[in-house]
Amino acid sequence: MPDVTWYEAAYHGRDQRVMPLEPGHRFFLSKHHVPKGGTLLDVGCGTGNFLAAARAKGFEVTGIEFDRNAAQFAREHLGLRSTFSCTLEEFAEKHPQEKFDVITFFEVLEHQDKPLGFLRLVKRCLKEGGHIALSVPNRERWHMAPDVLDYPPNHLTRWNARALTGFLTAEGFTVTGIHEERIGVRQATGVLNSAVRTGMVSKLAGWAPPAPSDLAEMKPEEMTQAVQRAAQSHRQQWASILVAAKSAMFFPVAILGLPYFRLRGYKGLYLSCIAMRVNA
C-alpha cells in the first residue's frame, strides 16, 4: 500500500478545493433508515466535502485523511477542526475509548492492501448497532479500455455487490442498503472516449504524464517534479484542451445512446452500501 508521499503526489491538485459530493455521499444522506444525527467518523475525508454536508445534517463529525494538505484544507477552509492526518490504525491507538454511531469510508476500501484488517479496525471504532457507509468502484461497470487508475498501486482490490455483501456479512454486519449506479451521460462519454485512442495527446505534450504505477517507482523528489512538470507545461496544458475537445465530440453520441446503454444493463462507476453492526 502506498505511503502518504505517494498519495500527496498522485492526488496533487485535488487537495486544494472542495470537490462535489459523490454518489456514495448522496446515497447515505438520502436514506431514511440511517441515523439522522450522532457521532460520525469519515475515513479518507479528503478536503471535507462530505463532512461538511453531514455536519449540516446534524452529525457531530470527525475526519481522518492520509493527505496532510487535504486535511489542512478541511480544517482551515471548512472549519472542520476534528480532522486528523493519520491512518485509521493510528487514530484507534490514540483514541481507544472513542466509539462512533456511524463510520463512513467512501472510495477507500479498494485502496487497502489488507481489507479485512481495515474492516476490523472500523468495527473496533464503531458502537454496537452502529452503521457503516461506503462506496467502491463497481468492477461490473461498463468500460471499453483499461483504466490505469484501477491497478496497483492505486486500486488493490475490486468489488461487486455479491463480493461486498459477503465480505461485510462474514464480519458481523447486515447490509441494509446497496446501490449500483446506473450509467449516465458523463460516464458514457468517458467510456466512448477511452475506446478511441489516437496518441495525439502524448505527441502534442512531448511526453506522457506519469501513471500511478510510474509514480510508485520514483523517489519523493522525483514524484513532485513529475507532477509539477505535468501541471506547469504549456504543451501539457494544450494537450489537456485537446483531451477536453475530443471528449466533447462523444457527448452527443452518449446522449443519443444512453437509452440503449441502460436497456443493455450497463452499470455506472460506483457501488454504494450501508450496513449495520449486529454482533461483536
Distance CA 225, CA 232 (A): 10
| Mean pLDDT to the nearest integer, 78-94 | 94
Q: Could you read off the pLDDT of 98-135 as tens digits, one per residue?
A: 999 999 999 999 999 999 999 999 999 999 999 999 99
* pLDDT band, residue 230 (cuts 50/70/90): low
- Are residues 4 and 90 in contact, defined by beta-carbon separation less than 8 angstroms? no
| Mean pLDDT to the nearest integer, 142-166 | 90
pLDDT at 104: 98
pLDDT at 183: 94
Beta strands in 80-119 (DSSP E): 83-84, 100-106
pLDDT at 243: 72
Q: Is the pLDDT of residue 207 over 60?
A: no
* pLDDT band, residue 4 (cuts 50/70/90): confident
Look at residues 139, 151, 246, 137 and name the one whose alpha carbon lies nearest to residue 189. 246
Contacts of 67 (CB under 8 A, 6+ apart): 4, 7, 8, 11, 15, 46, 85
Q: Is the pLDDT of residue 231 over 90?
A: no
Q: Which residue has better confidence, 89 or 236?
A: 89
CATH superfamily label, 4-183+266-277:
Vaccinia Virus protein VP39 (3.40.50.150)
Would you state the cell numbers that stand for residue 37, as one nine-digit string? 444525527
Q: Which residue has better confidence, 263 or 210?
A: 263
Domain ranges of the chain: 4-183+266-277, 187-263
pLDDT at 12: 67
- Are residues 209 and 236 in contact, defined by beta-carbon separation less than 8 angstroms? yes
Look at residues 189, 188, 134 and name the one whose alpha carbon lies nearest to residue 157. 134
- Are residues 265 and 118 in contact, defined by beta-carbon separation less than 8 angstroms? no
* pLDDT band, residue 50 (cuts 50/70/90): very high
Q: Is the pLDDT of residue 174 over 80?
A: yes
Contacts of 77 (CB under 8 A, 6+ apart): 18, 47, 48
- Are residues 191 and 222 in contact, defined by beta-carbon separation less than 8 angstroms? no
Q: Any bridge partners for residue 174, and if so which?
A: 276
67: exposed, middle or buried (Cβ count in 10 Å: 0-12, 13-18, 19+): buried
According to DSSP, the β-strands at 126-137 and 38-43 are unpaired
pLDDT at 8: 73
Q: Is the pLDDT of residue 51 over 90?
A: yes
Q: Is the pLDDT of residue 199 over 70?
A: no
pLDDT at 261: 95
Distance CA 60, CA 72 (A): 19
**Mean pLDDT of all residues belonging to the chain:** 87
pLDDT at 6: 73
Measured in degrees and rounded to the nearest 5, phi and psi for residue 38 equal: 105, -165
* pLDDT band, residue 213 (cuts 50/70/90): low
